[in-house]
Amino acid sequence: MDNRKRTTGICIVLLIFLFFSSGVGQTIIRHKQRPITTLEGDIQFTYDDNIFLYSTKDLNDFKRSVRTYRFPFATSDDFITTLTGIVRIRLPKAVLRHRWTQVLTLRYRQHLFAVNRMKSYQVFSLNLSKHFTKQLGLGIGYSLLPRYLIRFYRDPTSAVTPPSYITCDFTEHLFTAEYRVKLPYHISLTPFYKYEICDYTKKFDFYDSKAWRFGFVARQVIAKQIELNSELEYKILDAVGPAPDISYEQLYWSLGTCIGLLKADNPRIGVSYGQERRKYVTDNPPTIDPFHRDRVDKISNLKLELKVRLSKDIIVRSIYELEMRKVTSPYKEDIDDIKDYNDNKFILGLNLRRF
């Protein structure tokens, strides 16, 4: 099954490239000598040292083969190949009978894990955007993440000893709407709203949830070579429960900057830092749900990025990402031994564009 998914993902990306490189593709791409379709391909290689986001204590147990039934996988780290194909189509005015510029974006992305192939996953998405003027725009979109494996959890329906650990995965549907506006002093502001549905595998359907997310992204360009960016998002997640109940409220913010024009022989350097503060809001008493009652998670993210443009249509990037979670609970003193984690990613990517 994993090999079929792997082959399917590679074939989809290659077929997109071949189609738009052929005579038929070029006929669709060009309309009255004007390019109406843009094709992008992206390949990314990642080393992730903690793919299941285990705590330091659990990682040490895995390495020392302590209670091995908790870790039915080959390695706790892995190499990941990510393939992305993007088609952007500028719709002729006659399609939707509006005088505004309209762009339909189709995106397919597949993450292929070298060793832990059960962890591989795909994302499908589409977006329709309208540019009313150079300063105003609107976008709506939908993305599908099918059968994403989080990690292995204890089987809640099993009473055997030692306990059985099984895969916990979910399917996510995400609907988005955003409004883009350009302001004076080279500032762009994008308020957004997102509605998220997560459907977990049957044995973990008490995790099924719906979430409402809203916030904004802001950018400012200074002297054409420095970009400041920030994001703020508030999220309310309502889970089915009743126990465990993972309902929470979360505030996320990030600040970053990029320096450079991303021209040939002129690299672009970026750094950003963000943090999520998640507070679980279950009404369950601590005797029933000690892992979630009044629990607070703080997840910090640091990202360093270097981009170099080799030509008009080729960009190479190198990225380092660090994610850290710190958990506190008044009812589980040792919860940090279970829930705290550090995750390091080292990424090398190549982006290709064709018109």
In tens, the pLDDT along 154-169 reads: 999 988 889 999 999 9
**Residue 239 C-alpha from the chain's centroid:** 21
Answer yes or no: is pLDDT of 186 > 80: yes
Q: Any idea which residue has 């052929």 for tokens? A: 22
Give, in order, the Cα–Cα distances in Å from 207 to each of 237, 241, 285: 11, 6, 18
Amino acid of residue 140: I
275-285: b (≥16 Cβ within 10 Å) or e: ebebebbbebe
Q: Any idea which residue has 């190198």 for tokens? A: 318
Query: Taken in order 143, 321, 299, 152, is the CA torsion positive or negative?
Result: positive
Query: Which 3-state string (H, E, C) describes 99-120?
Result: CCEEEEEEEEEEEEECCCHHHC
In tens, the pLDDT along 83-108 reads: 999 999 987 665 555 566 789 999 99
Other C-beta atoms within 10 Å of 297: how many?
19
pLDDT at 243: 93
pLDDT at 311: 85
pLDDT at 8: 54
Query: Taken in order 7, 9, 13, 16, is the CA torsion positive or negative?
Result: positive
Q: Residue 71: helix, strand or coil by DSSP?
A: coil
Confidence of residue 23 (pLDDT cuts 50, 70, 90): very low
Q: pLDDT averaged over the chain? A: 89
pLDDT at 199: 98
Instruction: Determine the Cα–Cα distance for residues 82 and 122; give it in Å rounded to an integer.
Output: 9
- Residue 203: DSSP 8-state: G
Answer yes or no: is pLDDT of 10 > 70: no
pLDDT at 333: 84
Answer yes or no: is pLDDT of 66 > 90: yes
pLDDT at 132: 84
pLDDT at 90: 85
Of residues 7 and 23, which shows the higher confidence score?
Answer: 7
Instruction: Return the closest-CA partner of residue 81 out of 41, 45, 116, 39.
Output: 45
Confidence of residue 31 (pLDDT cuts 50, 70, 90): very low
pLDDT at 98: 59
Instruction: Determine the Cα–Cα distance for residues 125 and 186; give it in Å rounded to an integer.
Output: 29
Q: Return the structure tokens found at 276.
A: 């999520």
Of residues 33 and 196, which shows the higher confidence score?
Answer: 196
In tens, the pLDDT along 254-302 reads: 999 999 877 766 799 999 999 999 999 999 999 999 999 999 999 999 9
Answer yes or no: is pLDDT of 15 > 50: no
pLDDT at 20: 44
Considering the domain 37-354 in this protein, what is its CATH number? 2.40.160.40
Domains of the chain, residue spans: 37-354
In tens, the pLDDT along 207-256 reads: 999 999 999 999 999 988 899 999 999 999 999 999 999 999 999 999 99
Least confident of 27-36, 117-126, 326-335: 27-36
Answer yes or no: is pLDDT of 21 > 70: no
